[in-house]
Every structure is written in structure tokens, then in C-alpha cells.
Amino acid sequence: MKNSEITTDLDQDIESIQAVVCDLNGILRGKRVPVSQIDKVMGGGIRMPLSIVGVDVWGEDIVGSEQVFIHGDNDGICEPTGRGVVPVRWTQRPSAMVPLWMFEESGKPFLADPRQALAAIVKQYNDMGLYPVVGSELEFYLIDSEPDYPEPPISPYTGKRLDSDAILSIDELDDFGNFFSDVYAECERQNVPADAAIAENGIGQFEITLLHGNDPLKAADDIMFAKRIIKGVARKHGFAATFMAKPYGTRSGNGMHMHMSLVDKDGKNVFADADGENTDLFKHCVAGMLKGMSESTLLFAPHFNSYRRLRPDTHAPTSITWGFENRTAAIRIPGGGPKSRRIEHRVPGADANPYLAMAAILGAALVGIKNKWMPPRPIEGRAYGERLKKIPSEWGGAVDAFEDGEIMEEVFSPLLRNMLVACKRQEIAGFAEQVTDYEFSAYLEIV
């Protein structure tokens, strides 16, 4: 089913509409609307405060927010993205969702909206006669829904709690077969191109691949919808699903590896020439991603927990490197023929906002193209050496790098950058105020 085939027709049993926008943290926010108001929703009649995209991860307004206190917390116009009405069938009562994006009162795109930020980058490519092709690999853990801390789930087949890693285990996929069948059914219903599923390296960890396509906006939508489907279906089956970057301190983290290539108006991959060699355009893209990596890390690792994933020898990158078929590098060039020549960006975690992560990748590559940058020699072997230039390993440093970054200044609007930095600084302050049980056990009566 093509995106254009989704209509505004509603199933007769649908009881409500969820009108939603995506905030800077990748969280859907919006309103529940009666079915009778569907024409209002589809006609751009829904309004929400423009500041809603910039609230912190707890849903709190940003203290001293320019958008709230200088501009008066004015509303924006919420227009449908073109996805249409998306059915939601895993909830207790059937409903539907209408994805929206935000515009200013004048009709101009509100560029602090993450989807609008990505659209602005894609337009620049299209104006050059280039069309990004994007796909993703999305990792997550199934966990027990009862405790307040992550614990592996009980297998519906064996009745026993999972207790070991099971990478590429077919048996583990079979154990959770009913869950995956429902996930695939919901993905088909929402036009999300779910492909292969595998058991990953951690206990109860899985990965679903989303097929590539030449519409990056839809590709980012698909990631958002897939995450919501997986979490919703997991609850229906008595589990919970988490996309935290590192729910277990000593086990594999959850990544959201993104694959990208570029095609021309005839659909030809411009990353390889007639002889199958890498083109200068390919090299410019790699160089742009590498040069922009430090200042774009915040988009790939946006949360406190994200930096637990970016550690040496953990199947996650730590150095600003690229290589051919090298999964220890930040940028991997997979094998295959000229038609499938592509770049895999391995830094984003599953907790990242897909619109912002994709915009950062495509935007940095675009800056590389414009400046005709060339990358250093690709790395061979282990990319965790001490002398290699490192990806920011600390949250506050990543915020500073993003705020000061000259490449990200070209990629994102000043408003988005200011709102995101303010949001992250408020979240950093929130975490800094918390004293953990581990700190109590270490220090309470010892020091």
C-alpha cells in the first residue's frame, strides 16, 4: 500500500482521533478529538502552542523560554503531513491517529518542528536534482512490564524468564511469534515497511529493519510509527518494550543505524560510477558526516542515558572514523554492488528523534557536498584506539558542541538550535539534582 493510497475514510468502529505532532525529544504530543471533528483535523483547523515542540522530556515548559515568555506562547497551525488517517488497533478501544506538522500564522513552516527541519534539508537536495534514499535498523528490548527497573520478560512459549544472550536465535523469535505477528500486522495497517526481524545481542533484545525508500520524511515517520506500534503491541501481550539507548548497564545498547544513498532524477545511484568506483559525491558525503559528527552527536545521543551506549568494544562507535564493512567505525560502508552503494551511520541510538537524526546526517553530508570536502583514509580493524578522535562521551559536552557548531548552524534554524539547547540544559539540571541509590550505598555512612 502506497502512502498516497491512505485516505481519510474511517472504520465505523473508530471512537476517537489523536491529532499529534512530534516534539524535539521524539515524543508525540497532541489532542484527542471526536470522530465528528475529522474534517477540522484534516483541514488544518487544529491549533497548538508552538512551544509544545520544545518542552523537556518530562513535558515541562522550559524555564525562561523565549517562545513562551517573549512571544506570548502563541499558537501554530497544525496541518496534516499527508499520511492521512492512521488506524490504531492495539488499544482497548479502536482509534486513529492523524500526524500533523506545524506552521506559523503566516503559513511559513515552523522550522523548530523536527519534521519541518528535515523537510528543509530534503528540499535542498531536491533543488540540486538529488534524492536521498534512507532506511533504518531499529533495536529494542522486550522487558517485564511489572517492575520499575528493566528485567527480561518471561517467554510465552517456555514460561521461563529469559536469562542469556541469543543473537540471531530463531527459537527466541518463535517464542515471541505472536507478538511479532501483531507487530507486522499493525505495520502493514499503518504502511510501515517492516522487513526482517532478528534476535539481537542482549537478553530479550530484537531488531526490525525498515526498508529503504526515496522519501526521507516518510522514512522518519515510519520509525516514529514503528516505535509506537512495538510499544503498544508489547503492552497488549503483557510485556513492555524500551528504546532506551542502554537499559542494562552491562549489556548491548539499542541503536538506530541509518543507511543513506543518493539517486538522480532517473533513479541512478550517484555514489558509484560506471566502473563501480566510489564517486567524489560519495566521498564528499562521508567527509561532511565526519566533520559534523562532534557537533551533531547531541542529535544521535540526546539523553542522559544515551552516553552509556557509546563505550568501547560494545558494538557502538566511539571514534570519528569510517571504514568498509567495519562495524566498529562510526561510518560503515556495507558491501554490495554499485547499485546498492550506501553509507551506514552507526552513531544514532534508538532513543534519538528520527527527524533530527536524519536531518543531521543528510545536512552534514550536504555541507560536505557544497564544500567538496574529502575524507581521510578509511580505518581498518578495531576503531577504538586511544589516539583516534573521539565522539563526545558526555552529555553536556555534546550540548556545547551542538550549540557552537558551525556545520549544525548551516543545517538547523537558530530557533530550533536555541530551543533544543535550552531543553537539554534544563534536563541536565534535572538529572543533576537526583541522588541515586548507588550513591547512597557508596557514600552515606562511609565518607
86-88 and 95-103 strand pairing:
antiparallel
Inter-residue contact 441 to 315 (CB < 8 Å)? no
| pTM, two decimal places | 0.94
On the question of pLDDT at 50 being above 90, the answer is yes
User: 123 — phi, psi (to 5°)?
Assistant: -60, -40
Q: What is the pLDDT of residues 272-322, one digit of tens each?
A: 998 889 999 999 999 999 999 999 999 999 999 999 999 998 889 999 999
pLDDT value, residue 64: 83
On the question of pLDDT at 156 being above 90, the answer is no
On the question of pLDDT at 150 being above 60, the answer is yes
Expressed in angstroms, the distance from the first to the final Cα of the chain is: 64
Residues in the chain: 447
pLDDT value, residue 6: 38
What percentage of the chain's residues is helix, strand, coil (to nearest 5)?
A: 35, 20, 40
- Provide the grid cell at 248: 542494562
Q: What is the pLDDT of residues 392-444, one digit of tens each?
A: 999 999 999 999 999 999 999 999 999 999 999 999 999 999 999 999 999 98
Q: Which CATH architecture has domain 123-412?
A: 2-Layer Sandwich (3.30)
pLDDT value, residue 69: 66
Q: What is the pLDDT of residues 206-231, one digit of tens each?
A: 999 999 999 999 999 999 999 999 99
The arithmetic mean of pLDDT across residues 363-379, rounded, is 97
| Cα(226)–Cα(218) distance, integer angstroms | 12
The arithmetic mean of pLDDT across residues 48-56, rounded, is 95
Sequence spans of domains, the chain: 3-111, 123-412
| Helix H or strand E encompassing 68 | helix 66-69
Mean pLDDT over all residues of the chain?
A: 93
On the question of pLDDT at 5 being above 50, the answer is no
How large is the C-alpha radius of gyration of the chain?
22
Q: Which CATH architecture has domain 3-111?
A: Roll (3.10)
